[in-house]
Structure 1
Amino acid sequence: KYILTDLVSTPAFCKALGYSLFLKFCLYVGVDLLVHYRIKNLEVLYVNGNALEGTLPHCFSNLMTSLRQIPISICPTFPHLSLLFLSKNAFEGDIPPCLSGMKDISILDLSNNQLSGRVPEELITKSSLTVLRLSNNNLSGNVIPMIFHANGLWDLYLDGNNFYGEMKNVDVSTFEFPTSLREIDLRNNKLYGDLPRWIGNVPFLEKLALSENGFEGSIPMEFCNLNYLEFLDLSENNLFGSIPTCFNPPDIKHVHLQGNRLSGPLPIAFYNSSSLVTLDLGGNNLTGSIPKWIGTLSSLSVLLLKANNLHGRIPVQLCKLYSLSMIDLSHNMFYGFIPSCLGNLTLKTKDQKTLTSYFIEASDVLEDKLPYDKETRWRGDGLQEYPDTYMEEWVQFTTKSRSYSYGGLILEDMTGIDLSCNKLTGQIPPELGNLSQIHSLNLSYNNLTGVIPSSFSNLKQIESLDLSYNSLSGEIPNQLVELNSLEVFSVAHNNLSGSIPEPKAQFGTFIESSYEGNPFLCGAILHKSCSRINSPSTISTISDDIGEDGLFDAYDFCVSFFISYVVVLLTIFAVLYVNPYWRRSWFEMHHHLSFRNWRQLSCVLHLQAMCLTIMKIYAKFVHVVLGKNFCYDLLYQVIT
């Protein structure tokens, strides 16, 4: 009655054909089998992920002679098909029109082939079809009018094609929309125009993906009517304006709006959205600060706000989101200290981050079609499974100096924090060393000071650690050589000193660019012997005192220097005022000094220039050793 196989190799294959045939990842090359038996009764044909070459078995001789196209004879050969899966087979040509006439077919998957041409209109409007998947082909034409008549269709996947046309608005009062649609995926096509308001009239829509098209305008207020929406992807378009404050579906889990021109503050619409798992608003023009109500998003696992115009301090309310595993606040204008409580995040991997809650077993789908013994025949035999949804969850995250796309099981396991390219100050909290599950940590391009915490040696899972372009001082903790998973490491362009870690384990793979821009670092990789470095221990001691013990503060030093300078000047004036003899001598000296005495004037100018040079060198010393840009600027202004 049924057969489940991963390799067709027996002569009894064709005789065994009954109601279903599962052929996954097989190679049909010159296989010659016996004649078919009851092949017309086949109801499920699953031929996915094959490298189809040569000829099919003899029992399929009535079906096709070429494996490059889907033959039109498939319809009369299998008249009772209800489930047809032909994805990932490199099929070319058009979709056979006869598929529209198969009265029993309910699920049709022709995705990931090389099909071209237009989609038969009757295929989408066919009443018996519930799931149609044509993703990742070369299909073209305008399919928008067909969607208006997709009565009975539940899931429509047309992503990754060349469909074009404007999604025009229609009069909702004179048009009856298909009420059965649950999922619409039109990603990565050539659609344009304003986002259609009629989408808000699809009552039971759960997942909507319109990313990577040419849509413009603002997000329609009608989207607030999508009360069953769980997944929304409008990324990589030209949308502008603010996010409607009324948009707050009770079961929303994943929101992707990155890569647009949206403006305004973070919308209060997401306030108290306890179901929200992913919030990706990166690459927009959002302003303001991260609101304190961010702490109400109890299920939030992925927060991506990179490349906006956000400012203010990083709120400590983020530390209350114990489900957080990926945070990207880079390329904004955040200032202040890094909250030490971020070290309390568990960063546990979550299966909620992925969209697909797969799978439905074949026993569930074909329960009425395949009479089998669940306890004996199918146990341990690799049951064929069908995903609950074909919609996929993908996020972009920068690590190892590159931007990667994460989805599926990889997304579930990914953890990382990116706070780079901001205006953060202060020391790196040692508590960040408690993030034992983190894979990527990027704090580069800030104004961080102090030392590198030795607690970073506890980051056993970390693969990328970037602390470059700050004002860090002191030595690089040698305990970091214990990080055996570390692939990318950079402390370039800081004020670090001393010897670099021993070149063993992963640190034996890092090159000179990982340490460049630190003139007081030494080591074989830098072609600089530590014995020839001028007083590295003294510099290291000063930096350690500043960063660890807090006994010497650079800001206090700058203030005391300025006050001392003023006090010296006031003292000179006070002495001249109190002592008349010295005062007369002072004025007589300046009276006799004239511009005609160029030799005396030259000596005075040279003396002043020498003093100024010495003071500039001293100010530069403060800038390099203490790592304080504002201190150097203050000294320079005083000298001037």
Structure 2
Amino acid sequence: MPKRSCVPCFLLHQRKLKKLDLSHNSLEGMFPNWLIDNNRMLEVFNLRDNSFGNIFYMPLNRNPNTMWVDMSGNRMIGSIPRYTPKFFPHITYLNLSINSLDGVIPSSIGDLVELYELDLSHNKLSGEVPTGLLTNLSQLFVLNLTNNSLHGEVLSTNLNLGDKGRLCLDNNYFTGKIRHSDLWSMLQLVDISNNFFTGLNPCWISNITTSFEPVGSLLFLDISQNSFSGPIPSCLISQSLEHLHLGSNKFTGSIPNSFGTLKNVLTLDIGNNYLSHMIPKFLGELSSLRILLLGKNNFSGSIPKQLCRLTNESLIDLSNKFLSGSIPSCLQNIRGPSYQAFMHTRYLDGYDTDGRSRNSPNFYYQSIITNRVTFPEDLFKIKDEVLFTTKAISLTYKGDALDSMSGLDLSSNKLTGYIPEELGLLTHIHVLNLSHNKLTGPIPTKFSNLASIESLDLSFNNLSGKVPSELIKLNSLEVFNVSFNNLSGTLPMKAQFGTFSKESYEGNPLLCGPPLENKCTMETQETHPSIEEGDDVKWYDMDMTSFYGSFGSTWFVSMCGFATLLWVNPYWRRRWLELVEECMYTCYYFLYDSVRKVSMYLFK
């Protein structure tokens, strides 16, 4: 529809209308509750992604036929009506997300016993979550309260939700401990990140035997950015997990051995905690692993060579720890993913690839426009999201972007030795960060093979030698930092290197050339090959035989050229002879006068 359109008036008298889909248009005005009032047989009411504003009003009359209401992605304000169960007693799907609704969630929502999906995310709701919403709705499959201002100890009660469902409480102000419940082992997606939860029941997710045999179907678990502390519970882990986020908490101790059973895991994020001891070798056995984030912990020891077996890995973060030793050259084996795991997003069990339910009592409808089943795009998808430092900035990568992004971050450790030339074989990598270590030796010239590299940070090490001119082949390079090393020589200035500022090279007093203020002299331009080979001959030593031979031949050729010029030009030859004659007379009389004066002085 054209912009700034209104709901067509002819819909006012469609008494037998059952399905109404006006989603993804530019409709404006107040919420058209008259559509429900005048169409008593209306079952599906979809106004998703329009520009309806003002207060969300309930219709004047009860409509027992309405089962699907989607008002997401509009500009609705005000609070959620308390009498929703009265007017929509049999509703199964209610989506009011991405609006500006405020106030509290009415307790009457807990009376919608047939409700299967409830999405109130991305609003301005406050207060506590009604107890009935968590305990009465046994058929509730999807509960999404993401990104509001809700608070309270929401997970301290005994939850009663549908199995194989989705619970999203992230980005709120929830507090308290998490109570153990059999429900956790039946859910497929749990996201309670970015809250203020403080305690974990050691076996709150699943019941696991001593052989780590899990019960349940949990695929996605995100409890990051909370205040959980103590050791990571061993029975927190379920073999069915594909995405596990425990980062930005206060976990201590070592990584549990139960992590070795995560054979299906794609994402493992336990960064930004207080974990210690050595990085376990069994992490290299997780063949499906794509993203490994262990940065900002207290791990010690060397980098396990077993990590080189993670050939499908795309993102590895081992930064900000106390790792020592050398960089394993076998990291060249990490050639990137062989298939796209994140682009082909998995759906929750019970739904096929177009979102159609195979076991839901919910009502699904045919779109009047596309004649296909219509669903909110992200309702049943499992999309992962991680934070990775790129170009000195922590950026969020989500969903399909995780298939194309690749990086290796070993910064802020105590790594020593040379940078392995084999790292130049990581042709797929976009980010390589080896800064803030104790690495020595030259910058490998094989880094010129990093065709996809966008950010290369080697700063704050003890690297020596020159900046290889071969690196000008890196056409995708946007950030290059070799500051505070012991590099020397002239800087390359072609291609991308003509765009880097002096901050990329500061702290290397022997580097010269633009963009630095140090001008290159003969000494700084020398590559000193004899010194590098251990020879005692100085760069300023000269072969005198060659010097005299070159000088003599140059003088002879010059004289021959001068004589030839006088021979072919009579005028110049006469002038030259006159000049010679004048010089001879001048010298003669000068000597004669000088001798005469001396003689007279002596005789007197």
Q: Quickly name the TM-score band, shorter chain normalised.
A: 0.7 to 0.9
* Partner amino acid, structure 2, of 1:87: S
Cα shift at 1:508? 2.1
Conserved? CA contact 1:360–1:387, under 8 Å:
no
Residues 356 and 390, structure 1, Cα contact 8 Å, conserved in 2: yes
Counterpart CA distance in 2 for 1:169 and 1:81 is 34
1:73 equivalent to 2:59? Answer yes
Contact 2:29 2:51 in 1 (8 A): no
Tell me what 2:175 maps to: 192
Q: Return the letter of the residue paired with 1:100.
A: P
State the Cα distance separating 1:534 from its structure 2 match. Answer: 4.1
CA change 1:291–1:137 in 2 (3 A) is same
Q: Look up the match of 1:151.
A: 138
Against the structure 1 CA distance between its residues 80 and 213, is the aligned structure 2 distance closer, same or farther, given a 3 Å change threshold? same
User: Post-superposition shift, 1:491?
Assistant: 0.7
**TM-score, length-normalised on structure 1?**
0.73
Match runs of 1:522-533 below 5 Å:
522-531=512-521, 533=523
Find out whether 1:100 has 2:85 as its counterpart: yes
Task: Return the match for 1:449 from 432, 440, 443.
Answer: 440
Aligned to 1:398: 389
C-alpha contact (below 8 Å) 1:254/1:276 kept by paired residues: yes
Q: What amino acid sits opposite 1:329 in the alignment? A: L
Distance (Å, rounded) in 2 between the aligned partners of 1:248 and 1:71: 45
How far, CA to CA, are the matches of 2:429 and 2:365 in structure 1?
A: 47
2:112 maps to which of 109, 113, 126: 126
Structure 1 residue 382 displacement after superposition: 11
CA separation of 1:51 and 1:168: change in aligned 2, threshold 3 A: closer
Aligned counterpart for 1:361 among listed residues 351, 354, 379: 354
Residue 549 of structure 2 corresponds to: none
The answer (yes or no) to whether the contact 1:355–1:392 under 8 Å persists in 2 is no
Amino acid aligned to 1:103: P
**CA displacement 1:553-601 (0-9 Å, x = unmatched):** xxxxxxxxxxxxxxxxxxxxxxxxxxxxxxxxxxxxxxxxxxxxxxxxx
What is the letter of the counterpart of residue 41 of structure 1? M
Task: Map Cα deviations across residues 108-141 of structure 1 (whole Å, 9 max, x no partner).
Answer: 1111111111112232442211111111211122
**After the TM superposition, which residues 281-296 of structure 1 pair with which residues of structure 2 at under 5 Å, given as runs?**
281-296=270-285
Give the drift of 1:503: 3.6
SS in 2 for 1:425: strand
Aligned pairs (5 A) from 1:571-610 = none
Aligned Cα RMSD in Å?
A: 3.5
Contact 1:195 1:220 in 2 (8 A): no
**Which residue of 174, 178, 192 corresponds with 1:210?**
192
Q: Confirm or deny: 8 A CA contact 1:355 1:391 kept in the other structure.
A: no
1:109 corresponds to which of 95, 102, 120: 95
Q: Normalized against structure 2, the TM-score is what?
A: 0.77
Using the TM superposition, give the Cα deviation of residue 448 of structure 1 relative to its aligned residue in structure 2, in angstroms: 1.0
- Structure 1 unaligned regions, length at least 5: 53-66, 553-640
Aligned length, in residue pairs: 516
Task: Indicate whether 1:459 and 2:459 are aligned.
Answer: no
Query: 1:89: which partner in 2?
Result: 74
CA contact (8 A) 2:424 2:450 kept: yes
Q: Corresponding residue for 1:608?
A: none
The alpha-carbon deviation at position 501 of structure 1 amounts to 1.5
The match for 2:306 among 295, 317, 321 is: 317
* 1:91 shift after superposition: 1.2
Separation of aligned partners in 2, 1:542 and 1:519: 19
In structure 2, give the amino acid aligned to 1:82: M
Other structure's SS at 1:433 match: helix
The one of 229, 241, 255 aligned to 2:244: 255
Counterpart position of 1:512 = 502
Counterparts of 2:218 and 2:375, CA distance in 1? 29
The residue number in structure 2 matching 1:46 is 46
* Structure 1 residue 412 displacement after superposition: 2.8
Distance 2:126 2:345 in 1: 27
2:482 to 488, 491, 501: 491
Deviation at 1:74, TM superposition (A): 7.8
Q: Structure 2 residue aligned with 1:352, among 314, 332, 341?
A: 341
Deviations 1:577-632 (A, max 9, x none): xxxxxxxxxxxxxxxxxxxxxxxxxxxxxxxxxxxxxxxxxxxxxxxxxxxxxxxx
1:224: which partner in 2?
A: 206
Question: Residues 339 and 429 of structure 1 are in contact (CA less than 8 Å); yes or no, is this contact kept in structure 2?
Answer: yes
Alpha-carbon contact 2:266-2:291 (below 8 Å) kept:
yes
Query: Which is greater in Rg?
Result: 2
Of stretches 90-99 and 516-525 in structure 1, the one that deviates more from structure 2 is 90-99
1:140, 1:9 → 2: CA distance?
Answer: 32
Secondary structure in 1 matching 2:234: coil
Measured in 2, the distance between the counterparts of 1:168 and 1:428 equals 49
Question: For 2:166 and 2:291, how far apart are their aligned partners in 1?
Answer: 23
1:368-379 equivalent positions in 2, closer than 5 A: 378=370
More helix by share: 1
Q: 1:80 Cα shift?
A: 2.7
Question: What is the percentage of aligned positions where both structures have the same residue?
Answer: 37
Following the alignment from structure 2 to structure 1, what is the Cα–Cα distance between the partners of residues 252 and 282? 19
